[in-house]
Amino acid sequence: MYSEEYDVIVVGGGHAGCEAAAAAANLGSRTLLVTMNLQTIGQMSCNPAMGGVAKGQIVREIDALGGMSGIITDKTMIQFRMLNRSKGPAMWSPRAQSDRMRFAEEWRLTLERIPILDFYQDMVTGLIVDKNRVLGVRTSLGSEIKSKSVVLTNGTFLNGLIHIGEKQFGGGRAGERAAKGITEELVSLGFEAGRMKTGTPPRVDGRSLDYSKMEEQPGDEMPEKFSFSWETRPLEKQRSCHITYTSAEVHDVLRKGFDRSPMFNGQIQSTGPRYCPSIEDKINRFADKDRHQIFVEPEGWNTVEVYVNGFSTSLPDEIQSKALRMVPGFENVKIFRPGYAIEYDYFPPTQLKYTLETKLVEGLYFAGQINGTTGYEEAACQGLMAGINAHNKVHGRSEFVLEREEAYIGVLIDDLITKGTEEPYRMFTSRAEFRILLRQDNADVRLTPRAYELGLAKEDQIKRLEQKVNKVTELEKWLSHESVEPEILNPLLEAKSTSPLKQKVKLNTVLARPQIELVDLMEYQPLANYILDQGLGREEWEQVEIKEKYQGYIEKERENAKKLTRLEDLSIPEDFDYTKLKSLSYEAREKLSKVRPVTIKQAKRISGVSPSDISVLLVYMGR
């Protein structure tokens, strides 16, 4: 059926697979996307949302590199919020609530518009390998399809096993079968495999909920968007989410089912995500907490289906139902489908190169949960990088690798390749040494020139970026040259509880004050006129404001990173008591006490030990 050879075959149509297929095909590789069900391409298997803390930065980076996740999210979101606005800009993280059905539809239509991307519905059961080089794939229908490279993005489907109480059955997610054959073949080729676990909460009928008993959580008054392109626009109307809470009574009901929980009765042996625990795990680990927050999230513009975020569980369905009915607003809840846990195979990512190509088999790439990560965003960025590198290898081009100081994507891949992971890896801002440099607002400045060199960013994108950078530079110059009299700004400064001026000063020195924002200074008419005349928008304002306020911190961060590199060989005493360092994260204390690293360099390579933990360690050691 497939007589000619493809440049790239992508196995799996989830977030990693979609980005990999789009990247390879958009760069010019003849690409085939093979997936078990063409109707579930781009499916949001868990929560109907994109972005969040550090994850939002990744989506922006994907967009800046020419990936599609940001545009797809913008076109299908029903709510937008910028998280952590009360903190510094390094922590600002965009998050969107998505229309689940429209998100998948938009991905499918986007991929279908790429002329040299083909599709095939079948299960890949094996690889064609000769002399440690991949030559194609085999499918359950007996097809052999030749290819110069293969990208595996199997998600939770590799020997997937679903648990609901004592019941267990094979499946990659609810209603879909597991993928068989690939794990066994990879192990026979010399790969090390492991098992991981993740879970998902019940979906319920929104018509059966009483929202008057919950707190409303609306979107931002001035919503933004993910993509830097002109192709999308911010939302003009939004759907609210809601917040409610569990209680001690809810916890008592759940505890009564613990003896039937696969998490506690030994049925599940694999490791689950530390930072996205099930409700039974929360009750067990945080026994002192009388309640836990539940986010009630609509699944789309028109559907009545609701996602119960924070209630991930694998308890028996009757226990789930009884406990949910005790949550305020859920007294008469009707469950569409119960929550469940799923175990699946993964391959420790230390077996990969920085390009995500495997060390054992040339031309074979892994991306997404097969590498031990969790989350749509982490999977999507790996898919993008694997797709780019598969294309580059096939066409004799140089490898494309991002460093830790360039992008969160670089941090993620470096962590995976050098540290590996013993539990589902999730990105956090604390994992990056260069948080102030790697902000969500400047992802295009950092990465779009790289995308343009690759051929993923088009001429109009680079021109738009150049215009933005020029506008920012000119506004910075204007602020540094424009002087203002005390009597003009003192009323504003006093209203903002900051010291009045005693003499004429440059506007940029006023903007550097933490209490003052650029929008406050619009009361100064020359500034308002300049911004209006130059057509400056929020994007440009934020760039200038952040640079003026945080330039000192940025330079300090660079200097600290250099110091850290110099101190990597510093020895750690053999009997060092990590439990005494309360400034270390709980996870770092746990991992350092277990591994007992002998140098700072070794400590840095431990999964779960963040750059801030290393800084604490160095301070305590007097360095």
pLDDT above 90 (res 214): yes
> What is the CATH classification number for the domain harbouring 586?
1.10.150.570
Q: What is the pLDDT of residues 98-135, one digit of tens each?
A: 999 999 999 999 999 999 999 999 999 999 999 999 99
Q: Are residues 333 and 207 in the same domain?
A: yes
Please give the mean pLDDT across all residues of the chain.
Answer: 93
Residue count (the chain): 623
Q: Measured at the alpha carbon of residue 349, what is the angle toward residues 346 and 355, in degrees to the nearest 5?
A: 125
Range of the domain at 514: 459-558
Shortest CA distance to 510 belongs to which of 485, 536, 543, 541?
485
Q: What is the pLDDT of residues 365-386, one digit of tens each?
A: 999 999 999 999 999 999 999 9
Q: Is residue 183 part of a domain?
A: no
Q: Is residue 238 part of a domain?
A: yes
H or E element, residue 471? helix 459-481
CA torsion angle 431 73 66 157 (round to 10): 70
Q: pTM for this one?
A: 0.91
Q: Which residue has the higher pLDDT, 267 or 141?
A: 141
Least confident of 290-299, 402-411, 461-470, 517-526: 517-526
> What is the CATH classification number for the domain harbouring 299?
2.40.30.260
> What is the CATH classification number for the domain harbouring 480?
1.10.10.1800
Q: Are residues 332 and 208 in the same domain?
A: yes
Q: What is the pLDDT of residues 147-188, one digit of tens each?
A: 999 999 999 999 999 999 989 999 999 889 999 999 999 999
Q: Is residue 229 part of a domain?
A: yes
Q: Are residues 522 and 602 in the same domain?
A: no
Q: What is the pLDDT of residues 509-543, one digit of tens each?
A: 999 998 888 888 988 899 989 988 988 888 888 88
Q: Is residue 289 part of a domain?
A: yes
Sign of the dihedral through C-alpha 227, 230, 231, 235: positive
> In angstroms, rounded to a whole number, what is the distance separating the alpha carbons of residues 194 and 174?
22
H or E element, residue 169? strand 167-170
Q: Among 340, 374, 403, give the residue marking a domain's end.
A: 340
287 contacts: CB under 8 Å, gap ≥ 6: none
Q: Is residue 194 part of a domain?
A: no
Q: Are residues 592 and 474 in the same domain?
A: no
Residues facing 95 on adjacent strands: 51, 81
Which DSSP state fits 355? T
Q: Are residues 242 and 327 in the same domain?
A: yes
CA torsion angle 37 42 44 50 (round to 10): 170
Q: Are residues 305 and 213 in the same domain?
A: yes
Tell me, what's the pLDDT at 2?
66
pLDDT above 60 (res 25): yes
> In angstroms, rounded to a whole number, what is the distance separating the alpha carbons of residues 269 and 86?
40
Q: Are residues 543 and 574 in the same domain?
A: no
The counts of H helices and E strands in the chain are 19, 23
> In angstroms, rounded to a whole number, what is the distance separating the alpha carbons of residues 485 and 501?
8
Q: Which of the given ranges, 111-120, 477-486, 505-514, 594-603, has the highest pLDDT on average?
A: 111-120
Q: Is residue 251 part of a domain?
A: yes
Q: Are residues 234 and 313 in the same domain?
A: yes
Q: Are residues 539 and 599 in the same domain?
A: no
Q: Are residues 283 and 212 in the same domain?
A: yes
122 contacts: CB under 8 Å, gap ≥ 6: 34, 36, 139, 140, 141, 143
Q: Are residues 469 and 596 in the same domain?
A: no
Model confidence at 623, in pLDDT bands (50, 70, 90)?
low
Q: Are 333 and 254 in contact (CB under 8 A)?
A: no
Q: Is residue 250 part of a domain?
A: yes
Model confidence at 344, in pLDDT bands (50, 70, 90)?
very high
Q: Measured at the alpha carbon of residue 609, what is the angle toward residues 370 and 583, in degrees to the nearest 5?
A: 145
Question: What domain count does the chain have?
Answer: 3
Residues facing 31 on adjacent strands: 8, 117
Q: Are residues 495 and 573 in the same domain?
A: no
> In angstroms, rounded to a whole number, what is the distance separating the alpha carbons of residues 538 and 530?
14
Q: Among 340, 362, 385, give the residue marking a domain's end.
A: 340
Q: Are 594 and 555 in contact (CB under 8 A)?
A: no
Q: Among 506, 523, 558, give the residue marking a domain's end.
A: 558
Q: Are 148 and 394 in contact (CB under 8 A)?
A: yes
Q: Is residue 2 part of a domain?
A: no
Q: How many CB atoms lie within 10 A of CB 88?
A: 15
Q: What is the pLDDT of residues 546-591, one digit of tens each?
A: 888 888 887 887 777 677 777 778 888 888 899 888 889 888 998 8
Q: Are 226 and 96 in contact (CB under 8 A)?
A: yes
